[in-house]
Amino acid sequence: MITVNLRPDLKRKRARSPLAGVVEAVRGLSVGGKVKDPLLLACVVSWVGVLGWLGYVVVSTTTELNALEPQLEATRAEHKRFKAFLGEKRHQETIRDSLVAQIGVIRTVDGDRYVWAHLMDEVTKALPAYTWLVDMSNAAPATAPTAAPAAGAQKDSTRSDSVAPPAAVAFVVNGRTVDIQAYTRFLRQLEASPWITDVTPVSAQTVVEKERPVTAFTIRATYRQADSAYIRTVPLSESVR
């Protein structure tokens, strides 16, 4: 194919790339030459600096990431271990709370079931020789002024094992003795009991029974819950041969 140039005084314009001017300007720079376009040189230097900084950031970030990778794996393993430990701890706490709730229900039901059994046992142990009981009955508890709760004091409701102790049981013992010293000894032994408190002699007088002078006495006392160190448990059933 033959091409004829009808305008020989004009040269054909070729398509140029955007970076062609930058490349020509760089090529035009010489060691001793003068810079014809300072703005273009500043742009080239800026781009070189930006590319160098980006390369440094990429390299340093990659190095730091590679150094932190083992710590990340160790932290993940530690997290799994503590997660399993916390799950087991919550499971054990759930079992504990269930058992404490059941024990609280049992204590509430059996709180005052064996009050009189303890009282009769303790009174029998404290009874000295030549002394006998006529009757033992319940009595109205003595009213005592209760201190008002302090301001801002609140009951700790988070403790599930806090069970209200049995209500105080006041009782009266009527008995006879042929020895006045046995009467005083009976008072001291009642006061020494961990289940009995507020032992108060009400009356003591000499009466004649079956043609014999004896001392008739009346004692008032109150039942209290003893410390766990004084409580002895026995099995409900025993094998009998």
Residue 154 lies inside a defined structural domain of this protein:
no
pLDDT at 241: 59
Say whether pLDDT at 178 is over 70. yes
Predicted confidence (pLDDT) per residue in 64-97, tens digit: 888 888 888 888 889 999 999 999 999 999 999 9
Cα dist from 180 to 48, 73, 96, 183, 188, whole Å: 117, 86, 54, 5, 13
User: What pLDDT does 221 receive?
Assistant: 93
Domain end (from 90, 110, 130): 110
The least confident of 38-42, 82-86, 210-214, 222-226 is 38-42
User: What are the b/e assignments for 104-118, b being 16+ CB within 10 Å?
Assistant: eeeeeeeeeeebeeb
Whether 122 is covered by a domain: the verdict is yes
Domain-located, residue 153: no
195 lies in the same domain as 135:
yes
pLDDT interval class at 225 (50, 70, 90): confident
Total structural domains within the chain = 2
Both 43 and 97 in one domain: the answer is yes
On whether residue 158 sits in a domain, the answer given is no
Both 97 and 122 in one domain: the answer is no
pLDDT of residue 132: 92
Examine the fold and report which residue of 94, 110, 126 is the final residue of a domain before the chain moves on.
110
Label residue 220 by pLDDT band (50, 70, 90).
Answer: very high
**Does residue 68 form part of some domain?**
yes
Q: C-alpha angle 222/227/228, rounded to 5°? A: 135
Please check whether residues 93 and 196 belong to one and the same domain: no
State residue 28's pLDDT score. Answer: 57
Other Cβ atoms less than 10 A from the Cβ of 188: the count is 11
Which structural domain, as residue segments, surrounds residue 123?
115-141+167-226
**Higher confidence at residue 5 or residue 59?**
59
pLDDT above 70 covers what percent of the chain? 68
pLDDT greater at residue 149 or residue 47 = 47
Look at residue 10 and tell me if it is in a domain.
no
Q: Are residues 70 and 125 in the same domain?
A: no
Domain harbouring 197, CATH code: 3.30.70.2830
**Predicted local confidence at residue 218, as pLDDT:** 93
- Kindly state whether residues 180 and 104 are assigned to the same domain: no
Residue ending a domain, among 61, 95, 110, is: 110
